[in-house]
Amino acid sequence: MTGGIIIFSFTRTGTELSRQLRMRLSQENKRCCGYAPEKFAGEGIEPVSGEIRQIIGKNWGKNTFIFIGAAGIAVRYIAPFVKDKFTDSAVLVLDEKGEYVIPLLSGHMGGAVRMADGIAGMIGAEAVHTTATDVQKKFAVDVFAGENHLYITDRRMSKEISAAVLEGERVAFFPEYQGCRIEGNIPEELILCRDYDSLKAFRHRIIITDNMQVADGRENNGTLVLKPRNITAGIGCRRGIGRELLKKGLESILAERGLSMEQVERIASIDLKKDEPGILQLADEYGIPFITYPAEELKKIGNVTSSSSFVEQVTGVDNVCERAALMCCGEGKLIQGKSVRDSMTAALARSPLILRMDV
């Protein structure tokens, strides 16, 4: 779950725990804010002004929520917003003494389980897990996908494979994606395969690829396709470009490489565009971080495929999109140079794919 952390407390003791937790989380560079009744507010805790559900509704699906108090209070407040584990916010509950921390909602996809374990270690609490794969210590495809920045193309099949694993079934695992590196031990629930023919012996299969033909041709046959989310899109655009026009242009450029918006991990540009409404709206729609750099930083990038004296005169650099993509991507490589669409340009860089199995 992208975004920050919002903590609700309701008593004096709970609010003191909220202060301590907020301080510890902030020290780990996590954006965190706390709310409490006005008589307990202050010292970093904001008073609740208005209805708590308004705060939840405004931030649902974007931020993680922590309730310090009874689980029933959390359930009643979040009930109107709960939809499914792929889009819901992560929700955790702590008792006001800080003895237990429970990942209540979106434990895997939203990261509530991982955060519960982190908080438990941080304050000396006990994390209480209730998810079947966690309790039985089985491979969970949604946890694996989330930890490795992989996009789940078929939610129904993801659930079907998780159920099969819990019943003791072995699942074929084929990292078809070229150049990926596997770290750690393959879980016993998965059988590593090296080609498509070896997949036929299994009732369920997990394939990691960004080959659109594979993704489109293997639906409803026991196969789950996971696509890497390792693309950085560097963007340059005219001021005031609308979200839809920007989205159409970027989708077109991605499609030429057999990619989709769901595989974009970051959007990058020059800091002149940090408040560009169209880019901000597009990033918000897909929950993608939008990162900008000053011209002097972008100049540190070496070779680019094309230069524009006009762009350099306006922005201070000769090619915004390629430089931004490469700057943001770190060790990644440019896979699509500057491409021009209506009122915008974009370049694509791809980060290395490292599959960490011990998650």
| Each residue's pLDDT tens digit, 269-312 | 999 999 999 999 999 888 889 999 999 999 999 888 888 888 88
Do both 148 and 93 map to the same domain? no
Give the range of the structural domain holding residue 331, as residue numbers without chain letter: 231-350
Do 208 and 249 lie in one domain? The reply is: no
Q: Is 80 contained in some domain?
A: yes
Does residue 69 fall inside a structural domain? yes
Both 61 and 173 in a single domain?
no
Q: What residues in the chain have per-residue pLDDT under 70?
A: 1-2, 107-109, 131-137, 212-220, 359
Query: What's 86's domain CATH number?
Result: 3.40.50.11220
Task: Count how many residues are written for the chain.
Answer: 359
What tokens does 110 get?
């939203």
DSSP string, 166-185: HTT--EEEEE-STT-EEESP
Is residue 136 a part of any domain in this protein?
Answer: no
pLDDT digits (tens, 9 = 90+) for 186-222: 999 999 998 888 998 999 999 999 876 554 444 458 9
Q: Are 100 and 36 found together in one domain?
A: yes
254 and 239 in a common domain = yes
Domain boundary residue, one of 228, 251, 286 = 228
Kindly state whether residue 207 falls inside one of the protein's structural domains: yes
Entry pTM: 0.71
Boundary (domain end) residue, out of 130, 164, 186? 130
Distances (CA, A) of 50 to 36, 79, 136, 246: 11, 18, 42, 36
The answer to whether residues 266 and 172 belong to one domain is no
- Output the pLDDT for position 1: 42
Query: For position 160, which CATH number holds?
Result: 3.40.1390.40
Do 222 and 235 fall within a single domain? no
Same domain, residue pair 215 and 255:
no
Nearest in space to 266 (alpha carbons), one of 348, 148, 156: 348
| Claim to verify: residue 236 and residue 220 sit in the same structural domain | no
**Same domain membership, residue 213 and residue 98:** no
If one counts the domains in the chain, the total is: 3
Each residue of 332-342: b (16+ CB within 10 Å) or e? bebebbbbebe
Of 183, 213, 228, the last residue of a domain is 228
Query: What region does 182 belong to: left with phi over 0, alpha with psi -120 to 50, or beta?
Result: beta
Shared domain for 120 and 209, answered yes or no, is no
We report the CATH number of the domain holding residue 281 as 3.30.420.180
The answer to whether residues 96 and 53 belong to one domain is yes
